[in-house]
């Protein structure tokens, strides 16, 4: 395979130059351990290896399978599972085989699961305002004490201000992040340890309280993050499709085209994807119906780059990404961290 | 694995008795060739084999990989790819190895692709009102003539009234289906052949013009179809999750729970999933945050059945389904038709 015209569609494309600029921009802003790249965004050890080459050696994971895959790929120097589990045995197996795995805990049973599973290190997960996981800030110290009494090393705290990632106005975002991080820093005072882990692509530059940021989407981007004005990252991810049907304008209805990219190749929780210079009407399982402007600008068989609204759930639908330089394919990035 | 308590979550469950009733209800209404089950809904040859056992030997597919997988599983007696492709060589390979594959065509280039790819049989895909694929009804006869002149057997017509599947009121749905099918029947008059293929789960009983119905969702169902009053099918598909975090009520905010089922295990284009007797707040990549009522009804570690809003894009996120009888696992159904 040498060009995108030889690919079976739909197919994920990653524009190499945009990816490289995104990685460089982030590692300049948050060098080395200041960034703990979140692999849930791309689910690819090949892409994680590029992040490692940019200087980051500690990674964030969302699932046990991601942790296992990263360890198997030799990227297990410092893996954080930033999520709660009640059966940690698979993680303990990795630790016993030499990987460094730190697990988030937010309750007595999750601390017990870490102990029973054979983990050695944990972070106390603190609820900083997003109603999801995390203990109340005032409970963090007691939970750390319990964990230490059970023989665990408590490395510090984490708290994810996920509800602020897409706040459009930077000053507003900074102010709200400060409120969240004030809680996390206070909890850290009670917990101790070296780590204050938080943040994401939307808050990487305004979250100055955390000492490591868990950003993932920055590498590839999507239209939701693209709408946040002050982010210095470029769209690098596209779903390549083929125009398989066109219907010319008639009876006052504009003409439309259909590309073979649909609900099964796109994460849809942030809404429809975009096609530059055109209006997307709707998506079906294997189709996106859209209105080219002008209609004559599109022909049957054309290859079209569809821009996903949400990077993470899009990538998990694909077996691989193709690293491209324009229309030329330069490498294959397997999406090898899917499943659970 | 003998019970659902031994499963790694998230995990897809199929309640056997509900599935069996759904299959029996449909095959009583549309016996044998009157139903051409659409495998895109479940992407599982094991489930297709259950549909075959219920009397259906012709199947509908949405992707080339689905056609290949069905043929490889020995279910290639009469496969329709109800979609347009511009490179049909993989399908032609199947035909040369003995599978019967019929391809939808809606334009001169798709007819040429069928010829070049080595296909022998096509259906003329007619636009009956959903702005997607399909030729104008008045063009169907000419396209059939072209196909026959190029040596293809034209088996008839298809037209999908997909925009009517979820119309809530049955009489209204029937009236709108009639308008669509009047166009398809007229096109069939120009095209000839034995087949008038159309319909889906939402219109299976009111579409009396088509002589075969392409329903798929009826076997497993989802909350979108569940909201259509007069459908006689039961919810058979669930995403099993584990409650990994709970936060009790405080400061006037109700308590919430978090289950490890999220955007990466649920199709989200029809909105949030449901949890019976509870209110779903939002989904994240690996979480659903929800409000149990009362809060005390849920405990950390509980197993919860989450009901997806849309069956097809949910299943494609999973490697397998577990056929269950309540909490007991009776079989594994691999989701072996994923990808393209």
Same domain, A195 and A244: no
Q: Is residue A69 part of a domain?
A: yes
Same domain, A215 and A258: no
Q: Is residue B31 part of a domain?
A: yes
Same domain, B291 and B238: yes
CB contact under 8 A, A245 and B84: yes
Q: Is residue A224 part of a domain?
A: no
A312 pLDDT exceeds 80?
yes
What is the tally of structural domains in chain A?
2
Chain B residue with Cα closest to A163: B284
Q: Cβ contacts (< 8 Å) between A246 and chain B: which residues?
A: 107
- How is residue B302 annotated by DSSP? -
* Average pLDDT rounded to a whole number, residues A21-26: 98
Q: Would you state the pLDDT for residue A1?
A: 65
- What is the ipTM metric for this complex? 0.96
Q: Among B40, B242, B319, select the one facing A285 at the smallest CB separation.
A: B40
- Percent of chain A past pLDDT 90, that is, above it, reads 96
**Residue spans of chain B under pLDDT 70:** 1
Best interface-test mutation with B: which of A258, A285, A319 has the largest number of B CBs within 10 A? A285
Same domain, A213 and A242: no
What's the distance, CA B57 to chain centroid?
17
Query: Is A175 part of the contact surface with chain B (CB cutoff 8 Å)?
Result: no
**Beta-carbon neighbour count of residue A97 at 10 Å?**
10
Domain boundary residue, one of A219, A247, A262: A219
Chain A residue with Cα closest to B109: A300
Pairing of strands B256-259, B288-292: antiparallel
Chain A residue with Cα closest to B258: A132
pLDDT per residue as tens digits for the range A87-116: 999 999 999 999 999 999 999 999 999 999
Contacts 24+ apart (CB under 8 A), B25-28: B25/B218, B25/B232, B25/B233, B26/B54, B26/B204, B26/B215, B26/B218, B26/B219, B26/B233, B27/B54, B27/B55, B27/B56
| Residue spans of alpha helices (H) in chain B | 16-29, 45-53, 64-72, 89-96, 108-117, 140-149, 170-191, 223-226, 311-315
Question: Residue A326 belongs to what domain range?
Answer: 4-10+233-334
- Burial of residue A28 (number of CB atoms within 10 Å: 0-12, 13-18, 19+): exposed
Q: Is residue B226 part of a domain?
A: no
Same domain, B156 and B38: yes
Task: Specify the DSSP element, H or E, that contains A53.
Answer: helix A45-53
How many H-runs (helices) and E-runs (strands) does chain A carry?
9, 15
Which of A 61-100 lie inside 8 A of B, CB atoms?
62-64, 83-86
Q: Is residue B228 part of a domain?
A: no
Judge whether B48 and B39 are in contact, CB under 8 Å: yes
Same domain, B92 and B202: yes
- How is residue B135 annotated by DSSP? B
Same domain, B26 and B169: yes
Judge whether B260 and B242 are in contact, CB under 8 Å: yes
| Residue spans of alpha helices (H) in A54-201 | 64-72, 89-96, 108-117, 140-149, 170-191
How far, in Å, CA of A183 to CA of A181, rounded?
5
Chain B residue with Cα closest to A88: B8
Query: Is A320 part of the contact surface with chain B (CB cutoff 8 Å)?
Result: no
| Nearest-CA distance B233 → chain A (Å) | 21
CB contact under 8 A, B264 and A312: yes
Domain boundary residue, one of B221, B251, B273: B221
Which of A 201-220 lie inside 8 A of B, CB atoms?
none
Same domain, A215 and A237: no
Same domain, A141 and A181: yes
- Whether the full predicted model's pTM is greater than 0.95, yes or no, is yes
Domain boundary residue, one of B196, B221, B246: B221
CA angle, residues A151, A153, A158, in degrees to nearest 5: 135
pLDDT per residue as tens digits for the range B109-133: 999 999 999 999 999 999 999 999 9
Q: Is residue B340 part of a domain?
A: no
Q: Would you state the pLDDT for residue B229?
A: 82
Q: Is residue B64 part of a domain?
A: yes
Q: Would you state the pLDDT for residue A168?
A: 84
CA neighbor of B54 nearest in space, from B40, B72, B77, B36: B36
Q: Among A247, A258, A312, select the one facing B285 at the smallest CB separation.
A: A312
Q: Would you state the pLDDT for residue A135?
A: 98
The CATH number of the domain where A264 resides is what? 2.40.37.20
Q: Is residue A340 part of a domain?
A: no
Q: Among A245, A256, A339, select the one facing B107 at the smallest CB separation.
A: A245
Same domain, B55 and B136: yes
Same domain, A74 and A204: yes
The CATH number of the domain where A106 resides is what? 3.20.20.10
Same domain, A275 and A202: no
């Amino acid at each position: 395979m040498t060009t995108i015209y030889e690919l079976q569609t739909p197919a994920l494309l990653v524009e190499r130059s945009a990816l490289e600029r995104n990685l460089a921009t982030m590692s300049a802003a948050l060098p080395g351990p200041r960034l703990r790249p979140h692999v849930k965004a791309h689910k690819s050890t090949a892409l994680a290896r590029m992040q490692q080459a940019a200087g980051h050696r500690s990674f964030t994971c969302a699932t046990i399978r991601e942790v296992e895959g990263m360890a198997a790929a030799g990227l297990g120097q410092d893996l954080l599972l930033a999520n709660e589990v009640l059966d940690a045995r698979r993680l303990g197996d990795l630790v016993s085989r030499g990987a460094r795995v730190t697990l988030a805990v937010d309750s007595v049973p999750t601390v017990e699961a870490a102990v029973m599973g054979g983990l050695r290190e944990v972070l106390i997960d603190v609820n900083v305002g997003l109603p999801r996981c995390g203990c109340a800030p005032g409970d963090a110290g007691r939970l750390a004490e319990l964990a230490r009494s059970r023989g665990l090393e408590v490395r510090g705290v984490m708290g994810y201000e996920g509800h602020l990632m897409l706040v459009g106005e930077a000053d507003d975002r900074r102010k709200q992040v400060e409120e969240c991080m004030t809680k996390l820093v206070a909890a850290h005072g009670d917990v101790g340890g070296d780590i204050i882990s938080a943040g994401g692509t939307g808050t990487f530059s305004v979250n100055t309280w955390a000492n490591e940021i868990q950003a993932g989407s920055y590498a590839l981007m999507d239209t939701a993050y693209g709408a946040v004005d002050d982010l210095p990252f470029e769209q690098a991810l596209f779903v390549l499709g083929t125009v398989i049907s066109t219907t010319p304008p008639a009876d006052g209805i504009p003409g439309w085209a259909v590309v073979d990219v649909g609900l099964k190749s796109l994460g849809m929780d942030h809404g429809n994807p975009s096609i530059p210079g055109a209006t997307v009407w709707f998506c079906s399982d294997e189709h996106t119906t859209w209105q080219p402007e002008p209609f004559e600008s599109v022909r049957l068989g054309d290859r079209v780059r569809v821009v996903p609204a949400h990077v993470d759930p899009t990538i998990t639908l694909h077996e691989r990404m193709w690293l491209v330089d324009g229309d030329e394919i330069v490498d294959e990035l397997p999406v090898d961290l899917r499943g659970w």
